[in-house]
Amino acid sequence: MFKYSKKLLDHFFHPKNMGKIKNPDGIGVAGNPICGDVLKLYIKIKENKIADIKFETLGCAAAIAVSSVLTEMVKGKTIDEALKIKNEDIVKELGGIPPQKIHCSLLGEEALKKAIKDWQSKKK
C-alpha cells in the first residue's frame, strides 16, 4: 500500500481544472506504457500567459493528483515560467509522492512541454 500525502489525496478526490478546453491553443499528451497512465493537457494562451489549462487523465491517484496540481501551478504563468516547472517541483507541491509513483510526475512535465510546443508550432 502506498502512503500518499494529504494534499495528493485532496487533489485526487477533488481534482481542479479537469475536463477539456474547446479549441485549445495547444494539446500535450504523455503516457507511461509501464503502468498505463495517460495525461492529456489542453492550454489556452493569452498575451504569452497560460490563461486556461485543463486535463483529462486516465490513471492512478498519483497521476490524477499530478495533473490537478500542475494545472494550478501553471495557470496565469508566462510560457517561460511554465517551461521551468520540473517534475521535482510537482512532487514538492504535492508534499511528496511514493518512489514507485515518481514516474507520474514526469507525465505532468512532459505533457506541459508538449502542449506548449504544440502552441508554438501553430503560431509560426
Catalogue the active-site residues. 35, 104
β-strand partners of 78: 49
To the nearest 10 degrees (0 to 180), the angle between helices 61-74 and 102-123 is 40
Cα–Cα dist 55/52, whole Å: 11
User: Residue 46 corresponds to which amino acid?
Assistant: K
Q: Which residue has the cell 511554465?
A: 82
CA angle 33–36–42, rounded 5-degree value: 100
